[in-house]
């Protein structure tokens, strides 16, 4: 009978003697977690798994991470921390129960060191910001050389993800490894039509998925984030993943991307409504752009990023889209919100949108240049505070639906490659119109 793999749960025990001061920000770590991390000691690699009621999936995520450690990093000192936001469905129990002994015949390597595993609640209210703040403090304390974050609700994570996220950081000295997912051509339209192209034009890096939620970090970048957090509590804002991406771009850190395959999150069914999603992502992006206003006006164009991982394509489930409803909401919005648009948009943009709203369903298009102008004028209006900010983002919702509908109509018969080319053209349009954003941004109130 084979001996079990050396996995050690760092359960809360009798507090050890007073910890040796390490210089890490221990104030962010609860006492119990601090003691358990001291028992673990220094590690090379650390993976954090934020969870909140993910009992159905977290077991396989934990197994994938551990197999990833054994398979790809058998000589390294590793630890896994599950940061739980107060699950009531037994998520921490699932983490503790996850075993990879059954997979032993498939593993070619034998880990030379103990795989440490901790499951802990984090201080503060549930949310990614609290979880990631605790993870950064933990990474600092255990002197992790590389750390990664993977969601607890992933349905299709494989051990290869751990290699893809950690190896470029650990072996190639990258500071941030952003994920690259395979998506259906109509999945994540907000990211492909607004978030990605605007982040690219503003920060000058072609980060295809600036909102994570899976990524890898170097120890030095984690420490820098932690110190930035200490100074200005920057990580407590909405859109923590975007804040991390922006911090890497503005701080001159080495950024890369790793292909992870399709993105399947179990809790996708509980995703927020569209206006809420816009408020959280677009609002966070506009806020971030405002915070980095000293950085981005001087940057022009964008640079591609090194890509890691084996890129492959697989058939994805088709998405049924109710174009009629999207178009109806767009037209209702243009009709009913005209007085609001007067304070946000220029006259030319308003007229062009009004004209588009009067077009036939089949001929309807919301062209790239008009969409980019719309987004930039909203961003400038957000900066100038012409309207209560959540209201301003809500006013963008019908226009986004119009643009999304136009994108779907334009690409109904297009293949992934063609859609990719169209997104690239849109990105170039964002870059081309950046001087216009700067001009509007600097208009005095």
Per CB under 8 A, 445 contacts other proteins:
yes
> Please, which residue, 257 or 281, has the CB nearer to other proteins?
281
Residues 6+ away with beta carbon under 8 Å from 138: 29, 33, 37, 46, 48, 81, 144
HSE-up of 12 (CA within 13 Å, CB side)? 8
The residue within the footprint of other proteins, chosen from 267, 328, 367, 436 (CB under 8 A), is: 328
| Range in contact with other proteins (rule: CB under 8 A) among 187-195, 254-262, 348-356, 423-431 | 187-195
Strands of 234-350 (E only): list them. Answer: 255-262, 307-308
In this structure, are residues 76 and 112 in contact, taking their beta carbons and an 8 Å threshold? no
Q: Is 316 in the site for other proteins (CB under 8 A)?
A: no
* Site membership for other proteins, residue 391 (CB under 8 A): yes
Strand partners, 116: 8, 79
Size of the site for other proteins (CB under 8 A): 41
CA atoms within 13 A on the CB side of 247: 24
Measured from the Cβ of residue 360, the count of other Cβ atoms closer than 10 Å reads 6
Q: Considering the complex, what minimum distance in angstroms separates the CB of residue 195 from other proteins?
A: 9
Q: How far apart are CA 416 and CA 396, in angstroms?
A: 27
Contacts of 261 (CB under 8 A, 6+ apart): 156, 158, 181, 182, 312, 314
Q: Is 187 in the site for other proteins (CB under 8 A)?
A: yes
Binding of residue 395 to other proteins (CB under 8 A): yes
Q: Which of 110, 343, 348, 351 binds other proteins (CB under 8 A)?
A: 343
CB of 274 to other proteins, least distance (A): 6
Smallest gap from Cβ 315 to other proteins, in A, equals: 18
Nearer to other proteins, 228 or 323 (CB): 323
| H-helix or E-strand spanning residue 245 | helix 240-250
| Cβ neighbours of 179 (radius 10 Å) | 25
Q: Which position among 254, 389, 422, 432 is part of the footprint of other proteins (CB under 8 A)?
A: 389
- Smallest separation (angstroms) from other proteins to the CB of 358: 18
37 contacts: CB under 8 Å, gap ≥ 6: 10, 29, 118, 138, 141, 142
Report d(CA 209, CA 187) in Å as an integer. Answer: 12
> Taking contact as CB under 8 A, which single stretch among the options 19-27, 110-118, 303-311, 314-322 is the one that binds other proteins?
314-322
Can residue 151 be called a binding residue for other proteins (CB under 8 A)? no
Q: Is 397 an interacting residue with respect to other proteins (CB under 8 A)?
A: yes
Out of 172, 268, 361, 442, point to the residue binding other proteins (CB under 8 A): 268
Shortest spacing between CB 392 and other proteins, in angstroms? 9
Is residue 285 within 8 A of residue 393, CB to CB? The reply is no
Binding interface with other proteins (CB under 8 A):
186-191, 211, 268, 271, 274-275, 277-278, 281, 319-322, 325, 328-329, 332-333, 336-337, 340, 343, 385-389, 391, 394-395, 397-398, 400, 404, 408, 445
């Amino acid at each position: 009978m084979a001996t079990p793999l050396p996995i050690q749960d760092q359960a809360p025990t009798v507090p050890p003697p007073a910890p040796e001061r390490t210089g890490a920000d221990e104030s962010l770590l609860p006492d119990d977690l601090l003691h358990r991390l001291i028992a673990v000691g220094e590690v090379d690699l650390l993976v954090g798994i934020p969870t909140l009621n993910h009992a159905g999936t977290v077991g396989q995520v934990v197994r994938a991470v551990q197999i990833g450690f054994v398979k790809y990093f058998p000589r390294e000192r590793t630890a896994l921390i599950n940061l739980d936001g107060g699950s009531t469905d037994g998520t921490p129990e699932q983490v503790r129960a996850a075993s990879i002994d059954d997979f032993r015949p498939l593993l070619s390597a034998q880990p030379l060191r103990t795989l440490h595993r901790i499951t802990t609640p984090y201080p503060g209210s549930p949310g990614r910001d609290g979880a990631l703040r605790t993870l950064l403090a933990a990474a600092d304390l255990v002197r992790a050389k590389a750390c990664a974050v993977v969601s607890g609700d992933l349905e299709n994570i494989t051990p290869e993800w751990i290699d893809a996220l950690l190896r470029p950081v650990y072996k190639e000295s990258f500071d941030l490894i952003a994920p690259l997912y395979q998506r259906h051509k109509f999945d994540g339209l907000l990211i492909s039509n607004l978030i990605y192209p605007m982040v690219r034009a503003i920060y000058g890096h072609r980060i295809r998925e600036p909102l994570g939620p899976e990524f890898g970090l170097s120890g030095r970048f984690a420490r820098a984030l932690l110190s930035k957090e200490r100074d200005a509590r920057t990580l407590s804002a909405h859109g923590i993943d975007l804040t991390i991406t922006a911090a890497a771009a503005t701080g001159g850190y080495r950024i890369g991307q790793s292909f992870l395959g399709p993105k399947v999150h179990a809790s996708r069914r509980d995703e927020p409504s569209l206006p809420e999603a816009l408020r959280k992502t677009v609002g966070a992006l506009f806020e971030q752009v405002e915070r980095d206003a000293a950085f981005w006006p001087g940057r022009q164009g964008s640079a591609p990023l090194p890509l890691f991982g084996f890129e492959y394509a697989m058939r994805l489930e088709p998405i049924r889209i109710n174009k009629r409803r999207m178009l109806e909401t767009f037209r209702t919005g243009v009709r009913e919100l005209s007085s609001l648009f007067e304070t946000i948009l220029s006259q030319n943009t308003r007229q062009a949108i009004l004209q588009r709203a009067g077009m036939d369903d089949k001929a309807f298009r919301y062209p790239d240049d008009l969409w980019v102008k719309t987004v930039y004028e909203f961003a400038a209006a957000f900066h100038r505070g012409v309207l209560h900010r959540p209201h301003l983002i809500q006013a963008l919702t019908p226009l986004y639906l119009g643009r999304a509908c136009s994108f779907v109509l334009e690409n109904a018969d297009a293949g992934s490659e063609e859609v990719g080319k169209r997104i690239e053209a849109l990105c170039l349009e964002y870059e081309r119109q950046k001087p216009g954003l700067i001009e509007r941004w600097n208009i005095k109130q």
